[in-house]
Amino acid sequence: MPISFEVRDTDLMGRLGLLRVGGLSVETPCLVPVVHPVVHDIPLSKYREMGFGAVMTNSFIAYRRRKEEALEKGLHNILGFDGVIMTDSGGYQVLRYGKLDITPMMIGEFQSAIGSDLAVTLDQPTGYSLSREYATETMKVSLNGARETIEKLRGSRTTWVGPIQGGLFPDIVARSSKSLLAAGFEMLALGSPVELMDNYRFAELVKMIVAAKKSIPFSMPLHLFGAGHPLTLPLSVALGCDTFDSASYILFAKQGRYMTERGTLVLEQMTYLPCSCPVCNATSKNDLILMDSSERMKRLALHNLYILRQDVLRCREAISEGRLWDLVEERATAHPRGWSAFEEMARNSELLVAGTRFMKERGLMVRSPLDEGRPELGLVRVHLAPLMKRRGRRAILVRVGAEKPLRTVASYQEASRKQKEDVADVYKLHPFLGPYPAELELVYPFSQTVTDHEAGQEDVRRAVTHLRAMGYETVLVVGDVGSGVRSRRRSRSRGPSPSARVP
């Protein structure tokens, strides 16, 4: 069955998309809650009502426990869900319990026969293994199963999803991704992040996603297994993952854990329920503690689902507004390991440029040294370089924020005329981009950079060196020179006042 993925908007590597499979469609980024094929603590109609367009279930468990019924009625009917159903193949069971007495073709044919819309071929997850040999072996086993399944079942209505393995070894992840692409898969799923998440190794998660993304086309949809952790959802979206399955909402609920956007809390240790979802509006922390344990678990699971749903919507809005970087950074402050992951993402700024718009409607926030590596600034640097051309013999460098836009150019040139000097090329000084032609002042993001960093003496010195290297005979620096340190002091507005002349 054909799959289509329409990318409607992008920011960093993240995208707003519409994924169409099996005659159904779902908006992305999309959280795909994991539901048990037999036991439903929350009725499936509730997921639909909450806005989840897709769910994931385990075809291996369905094969073991509901095989005949599933074959007779079909997966959508036995689950009572008319949205997209994605099926996992049993790889997770392999990770937990070792080898299964099932082959990729057996589970592949079953997934197809019960009407799975998106089916992952049987894989052997690498997990958290530090052994290169084991990572290579699991990647090869998963790849062989994937190739066999797609070759023999390509014509079925099910869309096959290729499982990327390789775990902590980026080169093996890359090889896995490229091989699956060559085998004809049109959607891939990145395996093994669950143990990384459980151990808060978020920076490794970033490396793994980056390795996969560098090996596949930008437009290809990518699923991330087991990634429903509020600390990493915006990060994974920013790195270009489109769908995420997670059982975290129910697993945390079983442990009495209450999700917030900045991590989980133990219900018993809480005083309030800091949320306004329908569950939290209708009950109090004490009510929850006193109620029957299975009812408490269901309510906690529902609350957790609302939190995840809200987080996905927040990611979509951030892409739409072009401020996904800010959302990732804000979330990274919730945990030191989150910050390490953000640093790792920032190191891959060149990759993030792919989906970053050149013009944005909102100001560009630069509040930390890492923000100076934002892809928006990288994009501007590339476009600015060819515009830095000398037209005259003299340059005037105006400190950033010293004057109102445009008027600056005219007034400084008038000052030159009064001094009976040649009209000079006027540059302004951006605290992070350095000198730029003053005519660009209204172009994003020169005057739309929001920061409390003032260009200081060192910035001016570097800018003058730059302009002299362009061949200017004299460089006149005008306006106040800032302290060069972060400060909340507002800049004073001043008229043209040549303050330093560099011969």
Contacts with Zn ion, residue ranges (CB under 5 A): 275, 277, 279-280, 303
Do residues 32 and 249 touch, judged by C-beta distance below 8 A?
Answer: no
Report DSSP state, residue 127.
Answer: T
Least separation in angstroms between CB 246 and Zn ion: 17
Q: What is the DSSP letter of 185?
A: -
- The per-residue DSSP string of 442-487 comes to GSTTTTTEE-SBPP-HHHHHHHHHHHHHTT-SEEEEES----SSB-
Number of C-beta neighbours around residue 102 at 10 A: 18
Q: Least distance to Zn ion from the beta carbon of 249, Å?
A: 11
Beta strands in 298-390, from DSSP E residues, in sequence order: 364-365
Please state the closest distance from residue 273 (CB atom) to Zn ion, in A: 6
What's the rounded Cα separation, in Å, for the pair 312 and 296?
A: 24
Please name the residues in contact with 233: beta carbons below 8 A apart, sequence gap of 6 or more.
31, 227, 244, 308, 311, 312, 315
Least distance from C-beta 234 to Zn ion, angstroms?
19
Instruction: Tell me how far, at minimum, the Cβ of 57 lies from Zn ion, in Å.
Output: 25
Nearer to Zn ion, 71 or 277 (CB): 277
Name the catalytic one among 11, 41, 82, 88.
88
Gap between the Cα atoms of 469 and 277, Å rounded: 60
What is the radius of gyration, based on Cα positions, of the chain? 28
Q: Rounded to the nearest whole angstrom, what is the least distance from the CB of residue 300 to Zn ion in the complex?
A: 9
Q: Are 202 and 232 in contact (CB under 8 A)?
A: yes
The encoded tokens of residue 361 equal 């409607």
H/E element, 213 = helix 202-213
CB 41, CB 250: distance < 8 Å: yes
CB of 274 or CB of 336, closer to Zn ion = 274
Nearer to Zn ion by C-beta: 205 or 305? 305
- In terms of CB distance, is 285 or 466 closer to Zn ion? 285
Helix or strand (DSSP H, E) at 174:
helix 170-182
Least Cβ distance, residue 436 to Zn ion (angstroms)? 48
User: Do residues 247 and 34 make contact, with C-beta atoms less than 8 angstroms apart?
Assistant: yes
Between 275 and 500, name the residue whose CB sits nearer to Zn ion.
Answer: 275
Active site residue 459: no
CA distance linking residue 146 with residue 12, whole number of Å: 30
Widest CA span in the chain:
95
Q: Does the bond joining 221 to the residue before it have cis omega, within 30 degrees of 0?
A: no
Element spanning 14, H or E: strand 14-21
What residues are annotated to the active site? 88
